Amino acid sequence: MSHSISLTVNGARHDVTLEDARVTLLDLLRERLQMPGTKKGCDRGQCGACTVLVDGRRVNSCLTLAVTVDDSDIVTIEGLAEGDSLHPVQTAFIEHDGFQCGYCTPGQIMSAVGLIAEGHAGDDLERIREGMSGNICRCSAYKGIAEAVQDAARRMAADEERKSA
Amino acid sequence: MRAFDYTRPASIEEAVAAWTPGAAYLGGGTNLVDLMKTGAMGPAKLIDLTCLPGLDAIEVKGDGSTRIGALVRNSDLAHNRDFAARFPMVAEAILAGASAQLRNAATVGGNLVQHTRCPFFQDGISACNRRDPGIGCDAIGGDTGSMAVLGWSQSCIATHPSDFAVPLAALDAVIEIAGPNGSREVPMAEFHRLPGDTPEKETALEPGEIVTAIRLPAEAAAFAAHSRYLKLRERTSFAFALVSAAAALVIEDGRIAAARLALGAVAAKPWRVAGAEALMVGEPPSPELFARAATAAMEGAMPSGDNAHKIELARRTAARALARAAAGTPAEMPALPASVFGDPAHA
Amino acid sequence: MPDPIPMPTRFGSSGQPVTRRDGVAKVTGAATFAADNHPNGLLHAVYVPATIARGRVVSMDVAAARAHPGVVEVYTPDNSLKLAGDPDAKPFMFAFRMHVLQTDRIAYANQPIALVVAETIEAANEGARLLAPVYEAETPRVTLDDAEGYKPEAAGFGAAETVHGDVEAGHAAAAKSVDLTYETPSQYHNAMETHAVVAEWDGDRLTLDLPNQAIVMSKAAYGYYFGIPPQNVLIRSPYLGGGFGSKAMSHAPVMLAIAAARAIGRPVKLMLRRDQMFGPVGHRGATRQHIRIGIDGDARMTVLDHHSLSATSTFDDFIEPAANASQGLYDAGALRSSHTGVRLDVGTPGPMRAPGEASGSAVLECAMDEMAEAAGMDPLEFRLKNYAETEPGTGKPYSSKALRECYAQGAEHFGWAGRPLEAGTMRDEAGMLVGWGMGTALFHAPMFAAEARATLRPDGTGLVETGAADMGQGAWTALAQIAADALGLPLDKVEFRAGTSDLPDGGVAGGSGHTATAGGALHSAGMDAIARLAEIATADPASPLHGAGNATIVARDGRLVVEGDEERGEDFATIIARAGGEAVVGTGGASRPPEAGAAHAMYAHGAVFAEVKVDPELYQMRVTRLVGAFAAGRIINPKLAESQLYGGMIWGLSFALHEEARHDRRTGRIVNGDLAGYHVPVNADVTGFDVITVHEDDPYVNALGIKGVGEIGITGTVGAIANAIRHATGTRVRRFPIRIEDLLAGG
C-alpha cells in the first residue's frame, strides 16, 4: 500500500510517495529527502536530537510517522538561516558555545526556536532550563545552551519591540 | 516495526467502522509509535484519529462542566489560561510530564490510554501478561524499583505512567467514549483497571472504542485555590515519577470543606481512597492531619519486589502535596512544575 | 635537572576565546556526521543483538527475515562474513576481541548474532526482528559477586599494582583510620551520535565515513581486518558526535557492516540503535573499591591503600584502573594501588572519559572526607595538611602544580569558609537541607605521538594539516590557533585540514592529550616552515633579511622580521615569489621524550566545591552550585576549555546522581538500556556552575605548556557532590549513583 503525501519543508513543496507507512518524518528527511541536518539520537523521543517544527510546533520527528504530516509545514535546521544571515538562536549558540560535538545541536536549536515562540519561558533561566530539558546534550553544554536561549529570547523580543514601535 | 496499513478517517463513525481486530488507533503517536519500534506492539492497521473534526476544543458547558476534546494536545491544555486557572493541578501535572516536544505531540486522549513504561512490557522480548496473556510476568523478581506497591497481582506489577491522569482521578473526571455500540461515559475511577488476572485489559475501553473527550464536572473547579501536583523523580526534569500525588482542598473558615487526593506511579491506575479524603473533611489543615490522610491513602500497600521505599515515599509525597495545596495554589506556574524544588517554604 | 624546553615567545590567537571555527556548520546542520552520508546504491544494515547474556543461539528464522520485502541479505554464523584478520587476536594497541558472527556462543547481552541488510532502514529493522532467535540460555554472571577474582596483568593502560613505601607499616603507624568499601556501577558512554559507519568499497580500496578518535592509526586496524594495505583505507571523520573514549577502537557491528558492503558490492550504512549502545562498544566497568586511609596524631596520612575489584568480560580484559587514582595526589607515607579482575557475561569494558580516574577519584575523595570527619577536621584543611610538594612515592618534582591556588580560588569563589563541620545543620529559606562538599581533581598530562605538515602558500596564507579528530573538544579551532601562531599568521589566514586519514597522523583524541600532541606537531611543523622560509630569505641578496642570522628571525603577522628590529622584514608572499613561487612546506612531530617524563611528574590539578540541596523528607537532590578551579597549564582557548571543564563536571554530577546500567539477574540483559531509563543530566539539572581557570606556566610538560582539560572535570566533582550530600543529610552512601531511597534508608 503506497501513500502519497505532500508537505512543505523549509518553504519548498515536496510530493512524496511512500511505499512504506513505517517511515518516520526523521527518516523521510534524512534518507529520502537528503536533509540529514536533523539528527537521530535515540529514535524513541527520549533525547530531542530529532526536533523539528511541524506547523510551528517543536516535536520529535522520530515519533512522527511521515504519513501523518501530509499537508504540514516543516522547518528543520537547514531552513532556519536566511541565506548567510543566521537566525538569532543560531548566532547565540555560537557566541555562548552552546554545543561541543554539535550532534544534538540541530535539535537543541529547533527546540529553542519552538520554546521562544511558545512564549512561556521569557528570559527566565530556570524556565528556559526546564523548557529545554527534552534535549539531551551528552557533551553537557547545558550552561551555554541555556544562556544562548536567554540571549536569543532577549534579542528577539527587542527586535519585536523595535518593529512594532 | 511490523508493516501496517494506514488510514485516516474523516469522522468518528468512519474511524469506528475502520476498526478491525488487530488495528490500533493513532493519536500523537508518542507512545504507540515507540512501542511499535521496540516490537512491543505490532498493529496490522493504524487508524489515524488526528484529523477527526470536533475533538480539539476545550469548552465550558452549560452545566459548568469542562469538556476537553480527546485530540487536544497536552501542551495546549496546560497552557490554556482559563483551563489552567480553573484546574491548576491538572496543568501542573501535564507540565511535569515528558518533554515539551512530547507534550506538543501527545493528545490528552492518548495520554489516558498510554501503556505502562514497565521495561519488561516495553522491550517486546520479556514475558509479559499484558502483551501476551498467560505467558507470565518477568517483572516479578526483576528490576522492581519502578513497580507497583498497590493493587498489583501475581500476573502484573506494572504502574500507569501518566501524570495527567492523577489529578483527573482526583477531580472525578468522566471519560466520553465512542465505539461500535455507540457512545458511553465511564468515570475516571473505572477507566483504568487493576491487573487482576487480566492485565491485558488496561482500560475500560472495549475493542474498537475511542476516547472522544474528558469531562471535568463543575464542582472540580471549586478546588482551584488549593490544588497542587507533586512529583518525585530521579532528575530535575524529563523523568517518570518515582511517586506522585495530586492534592486538592476546599478550605472554608479555616477548615477543610472538601478534599481530594490521588497518587501516581504506585499502581496500574491513579490511586484514590475515599476514606483518606473523608477523614480530612471538617478538620483544620495540619501536618498531622495530612500525615494521617496519606497513611490512609496508602493502606494495604505491599512491595512487589525491592520497592518498599516507594510506600514510605508515596506517603510522604501525599502529605507534602496536601500541605502545598493547603498553602494555596501559586499565582503562576512554578518554573519547575510539580517539583520539590523552586517552591517557597514547605517544612 | 635538564633545561626547560623553551617556551614559544609570543602568542597571537592562542589564549583568545575565539568562537568555534566549525560553529556555523554546526548550527546550520551543514556539519556532516558519518551517518549523514548517502552514497548512491546505499543499503542499510541492522545488527541483531543477543537478548541473553550467556548461552548459545539454537536457531533463527532466517527464512522469515529474508522473505521480508526489501531485505537483501541476512548473515548469521552459518554464512558469516569472514574477516582477513583474526577478530580474536589483539595485534595492535586498542584492539579488542570482537564477536563478528564467528560463533553461536553468546558472551554478553547485545552481542551481534546476525546482520540484516536491506534497501531501507524500515525493512532492515523488521528483518532483524523477524529472526526471533531461540536460545539455549545459561545462568549469566553479571554482578561482582557472580565470579571469582583473578590477578590482571594490567589495569586500563597502566599497572595493575603499584606500591610505594611500607604499606603494612603505614597501617600499623596509624593513630586513626578508615576502612571503607564503595561501589560504582557500569556506565555507558552514550555519545549522542551512536556508533555509525557508511562503508563503500572500490575493488580493494575502502572508504569509511566513521566517527573515529584515532583516525590515521585506525587505517592499519581496518587494513588488518580486511586484508588490504593501510593506505587503501580512507577514513573520513570530520566531526564526531561525541566519543568519550568509545570511538578510538574497532567494534563488531561496524566491522560487520564493512564486511557486508564488500560481500554485496554496494555501500552499506549502519547506525546503532540506542539500545545497541549497551554492550558491543565498550563501557566503564563496575567496581567495588576497598580503600583504607590511616593518619598519625597530626592528621598526616601514614598510608593510602586502595584496591579495586573491577569487572571485565569473559573474553577480554579491560580493568577499570580505579585504584590508580590514588597515585600522585596525597602525601601518604605509604601508597598502594591494586586491582583484581572479575570476569562477567558483559561486553568488554573500555576507556570511558577519565577511565579509572573518574571511579577512583570518586571513592578517594569520599574516603578523604570520611577520614577528615574522623579526624574532626575541615575537609579542605585535611587535604592541605597532606598536600604533596613532590610526587608521592616517586619523589619526582611536579612539572608545575598550582593546586594550592586552585583550592584557594575555588574556596574563595564558593564561600567555603565558615562551613560547619557537623552534618545536617544547614537549611535554606525553603527548609531544604543544604550541604557543602569538596574534592580534589587530578589528571595526567600525557602526550602521545603526532605529525603535521605546514605549508606557506605563494599568496602568503598558510595551510596546516594533521589527521586530528574533533569530537566536540574544539580541535578545529584550538589546533588552528596554535598553528596560526607558529606560522605568525592571523587565524583567518590559516586553512586547517583535519579529520581524514590521508593526512599526517594526528594521534589519538583521548587521554586529554590531543591538543598538546597534535598541537605540538602543528607548532613544530609551523616552526619548520618558518625556518625554511627564513633560510630562503636570509640567503636572498634582494631581501632586506639577507645576511640576518636565521636564529634571530621570527614570523609576525604574515611577515618575517628580525626580532628586536621589526622594521627589517618582508612578507611571506614576496619572499616566496622571488624564490620562484613554490610553496614552502614544513613538517614536524610531537611526542614526549622519555627523559622528560622521568624527570617530572606531570598532572593537571583542580579543586571542586559543591552545594547540594536535599528535601528533608522526600530526599530528592539537586546540585545548586558547583565551582571548579582548575590549573591545567596553558589554555589555548578559554571559551572551549571552560566548555570542556563544565562538561566534565556535569559528567561528575551524572556519575554521582544518575548513571547506572542495571542488569536483569536472570537474563543478564540491561533493563534500562535507553535514554529514558539510563539517566544522564538534563538542562534543568545544571544550575549554578562556575569554572575558574587558574594561571599556570609549565616549562616542562611540552613545548606549548599544555596539560589538557578534557577529563579532569569529572575527577573531584563526584566526591564533592557525594560529600555535600553527606554534609546535608548526615547519611553517607557508599554506592553510586546516590538515590532517593538510599537517603530514605539512611534518614
Q: Which of B1, B138, B347 sits opposite C431 (nearest CB)?
A: B347
Q: Which residues of A touch C37 (CB under 8 A)?
A: 36
pLDDT band for position C550 (50/70/90)? Answer: confident
pLDDT band for position C92 (50/70/90)? Answer: confident
Q: CB–CB of C190 and A138 under 8 A? A: yes
Q: Quick one: average pLDDT of C433-438?
A: 98
CATH label of the domain that carries residue B235: 3.30.390.50
User: C35 at the A interface (CB within 8 A)?
Assistant: yes
User: C143 at the B interface (CB within 8 A)?
Assistant: no
At C189, is the secondary structure helix, strand, or coil? coil
- What residue numbers bound the domain in which B300 lies? 225-327
Name the CATH topology of C287-446+598-746: Aldehyde Oxidoreductase; domain 4 (3.30.365)
Minimum Cα–Cα distance from A51: chain B residue: B101
Please give the mean pLDDT across all residues of chain C.
96
Q: Which CATH class is domain C34-138+194-240+247-277?
A: alpha beta
Specify the pLDDT at position C610. Answer: 98
Tell me the per-residue pLDDT of A119-143, one tens digit each, with 9 for 90 and over: 999 999 999 999 999 999 999 999 9
Q: Quick one: average pLDDT of C18-24?
A: 97
pLDDT band for position C439 (50/70/90)? Answer: very high
**pLDDT < 70: residue spans in chain B:** 344-347
Q: CB–CB of C239 and A101 under 8 A? A: yes
> How many contacts, defined by CB atoms under 8 Å, are there between B and C?
99
**Extended beta strands in C68-175, E state:** 71-75, 105-106, 112-118, 134-137, 149-150, 154-155, 158-159, 161-164
Q: Which of residues 438-497 of C touch A (CB under 8 A)?
A: 470-474
Specify the pLDDT at position A13. Answer: 98
What backbone phi and psi angles, to 5 degrees, belong to C233? -100, 125
Cβ burial, residue C1 (10 Å; 0-12/13-18/19+): exposed
Q: Which of B117, B235, B240 sits opposite C658 (nearest CB)?
A: B235
Cβ burial, residue B127 (10 Å; 0-12/13-18/19+): middle
Domain ranges in chain A with CATH number 1.10.150.120: 88-164
CA distances from residue B4 to A152, A155, B263 in whole angstroms, order as listed: 43, 47, 37
Tell me the per-residue pLDDT of C608-646, one tens digit each, with 9 for 90 and over: 999 999 999 999 999 999 999 999 999 999 999 999 999
> How many contacts, defined by CB atoms under 8 Å, are there between A and C?
190
Q: CB–CB of B237 and C662 under 8 A? A: no
Q: Which residues of C touch A35 (CB under 8 A)?
A: 29
Contacts of C363 (CB under 8 A, 6+ apart): C180, C182, C184, C289, C291, C306, C322, C325, C719
Specify the residue for cell string 495530586: B246
Confirm whether the ipTM is greater than 0.85. Answer: yes
Domain ranges in chain A with CATH number 3.10.20.30: 3-79
Count H helices and E strands in chain A, helices first: 5, 5
Q: CB–CB of C739 and B316 under 8 A? A: no
Could you please report the per-residue DSSP string of C513-550? -HHHHHHHHHHHHHHHHHHHHHHHHHH-TTSTTTT--G
Asked if omega into C737 is within 30° of 0 (cis), the reply is yes
Which of B71, B81, B99, B233 to mutate to test binding with chain A, by most A CBs within 10 Å of its CB? B99
pLDDT at residue C6 is higher than 60? no
Tell me the per-residue pLDDT of C672-705, one tens digit each, with 9 for 90 and over: 999 999 999 999 999 999 999 999 999 999 999 9
Chains that touch B (3 or more CB pairs under 8 A): A, C
Q: Quick one: average pLDDT of C351-374?
A: 98
Tell me the per-residue pLDDT of B226-271, one tens digit each, with 9 for 90 and over: 999 999 999 999 999 999 999 999 999 999 999 999 999 999 999 9
Specify the pLDDT at position C11. Answer: 53
Q: Which of C1, C304, C264, C288 is nearest to C145 (CA)?
A: C288
pLDDT at residue C444 is higher than 80? yes
User: C681 at the A interface (CB within 8 A)?
Assistant: yes
Buried b (16+ CB within 10 A) or exposed e, B268-287: bbbbbbeebbebbeebebee
CA distances from residue C59 to B337, C12, C45, C66, C133 in whole angstroms, order as listed: 50, 65, 21, 15, 6
CA B27 to chain centre: 16
Q: Looking at the domain that runs over A88-164, which CATH code has it been given?
A: 1.10.150.120
User: C685 at the B interface (CB within 8 A)?
Assistant: yes
Q: Quick one: average pLDDT of A35-56?
A: 98
Name the CATH topology of C23-30+448-591: Aldehyde Oxidoreductase; domain 4 (3.30.365)
How far does C111 lie from chain A, in Å, by closest CA? 19
Q: Quick one: average pLDDT of C126-132?
A: 98
Tell me the per-residue pLDDT of C38-82, one tens digit each, with 9 for 90 and over: 999 999 999 999 999 999 999 999 999 999 999 999 999 999 899
Q: What is the edge-to-edge ordering of all strands in the sheet holding C450-456? A: C494-497, C462-465, C450-456, C584-590
pLDDT band for position C551 (50/70/90)? Answer: confident
Specify the residue for cell string 579509572: C356
Q: Are B136 and B237 in contact (CB under 8 A)?
A: no
The H-assigned helical ranges of chain A are 25-27, 88-95, 105-118, 125-131, 142-164
Alpha-carbon gap, residue A134 to C49, rounded angstroms:
28
Q: Which of A1, A24, A28, A14 is nearest to B6 (CA)?
A: A1
pLDDT at residue C290 is higher than 80? yes
Specify the pLDDT at position C5. Answer: 39
Q: Are C734 and C180 in contact (CB under 8 A)?
A: yes
Specify the pLDDT at position C10. Answer: 46
Minimum Cα–Cα distance from C653: chain A residue: A140
Specify the residue for cell string 611577515: C559
On whether residue B277 sits in a domain, the answer given is yes
Q: Are B346 and B101 in contact (CB under 8 A)?
A: no
Minimum Cα–Cα distance from B334: chain A residue: A127
Contacts of B161 (CB under 8 A, 6+ apart): B114, B116, B117, B240, B241, B265
pLDDT band for position A165 (50/70/90)? Answer: confident
Alpha-carbon gap, residue B144 to C322, rounded angstroms:
30
CATH label of the domain that carries residue B46: 3.30.43.10
CA distances from residue C308 to A63, C331, C363, C736 in whole angstroms, order as listed: 43, 21, 10, 15
Q: Which of residues 20-79 of C touch B (CB under 8 A)?
A: 51, 69
Q: Which of B75, B337, B331 is nearest to A118 (CA)?
A: B75
Q: Which residues of A touch B5 (CB under 8 A)?
A: 1, 21
Minimum Cα–Cα distance from C690: chain A residue: A143
Contact residues of B toward C, CB < 8 A: 1-3, 37, 39, 117, 119-120, 123-126, 138, 141-143, 145, 232-240, 242, 309, 312-313, 316-317, 320, 336, 339-341, 343-347
Q: CB–CB of A65 and B102 under 8 A? A: no
How far does A115 lie from chain B, in Å, by closest CA? 8
Q: Which of C70, C241, C680 sits opposite A136 (nearest CB)?
A: C680
DSSP designation for C157? T
State the architecture of A3-79 in CATH terms. Roll (3.10)
Grid cell in block for residue A71: 499537508
The helix (run of H) or strand (run of E) holding residue B95 is: helix B88-95
User: C662 at the B interface (CB within 8 A)?
Assistant: yes
How far does A165 lie from chain C, in Å, by closest CA? 31
The helix (run of H) or strand (run of E) holding residue B277 is: helix B274-278
Could you please report the per-residue DSSP string of C197-247? EEEEEETTEEEEE---SSHHHHHHHHHHHHTS-GGGEEEE-S--S--TTTT
Count H helices and E strands in chain B, helices first: 13, 12
Catalytic, C711? Answer: yes
pLDDT band for position C3 (50/70/90)? Answer: very low
Alpha-carbon gap, residue C465 to C454, rounded angstroms:
6
Tell me the per-residue pLDDT of C656-668, one tens digit each, with 9 for 90 and over: 999 999 999 999 9
Within this chain, domains C34-138+194-240+247-277 and C287-446+598-746 share the same CATH topology = no
On whether residue B60 sits in a domain, the answer given is no
Catalytic residue among C365, C642, C696, C711: C711
Strand partners, A53: A58, A75
Secondary structure of C644-712 in the HEC alphabet? HHHHHHHHHHHHHHCCCCCECCCCCCECCCCCCCCCCCCHHHCCCEEEEECCCCCCCCCCCCECCCCCC
Specify the pLDDT at position A1. Answer: 78
Minimum Cα–Cα distance from B26: chain A residue: A68
On whether residue B235 sits in a domain, the answer given is yes
Q: Which residues of B touch C670 (CB under 8 A)?
A: none
Q: Which of A26, A53, A25, A20 is nearest to A39 (CA)?
A: A26
Q: Which of C126, C616, C667 sits opposite B347 (nearest CB)?
A: C616
Specify the pLDDT at position B344. Answer: 61
Grid cell in block for residue C187: 556506565
At B78, is the secondary structure helix, strand, or coil? helix
Q: CB–CB of B239 and C679 under 8 A? A: yes
Q: CB–CB of B141 and C666 under 8 A? A: yes
Q: CB–CB of B234 and C431 under 8 A? A: no
Domain count, chain B: 2
Domain boundaries, chain C: 23-30+448-591, 34-138+194-240+247-277, 287-446+598-746
What backbone phi and psi angles, to 5 degrees, belong to C224? -65, -50
User: A45 at the B interface (CB within 8 A)?
Assistant: yes
Q: Which residues of B touch A67 (CB under 8 A)?
A: 6, 8, 48
Minimum Cα–Cα distance from A48: chain B residue: B101
Contact residues of B toward A, CB < 8 A: 1, 3-6, 8, 26, 29-30, 33-34, 37-38, 46, 48, 50, 75, 79, 98-102, 104-105, 236-238, 335-337, 342
Chains that touch A (3 or more CB pairs under 8 A): B, C
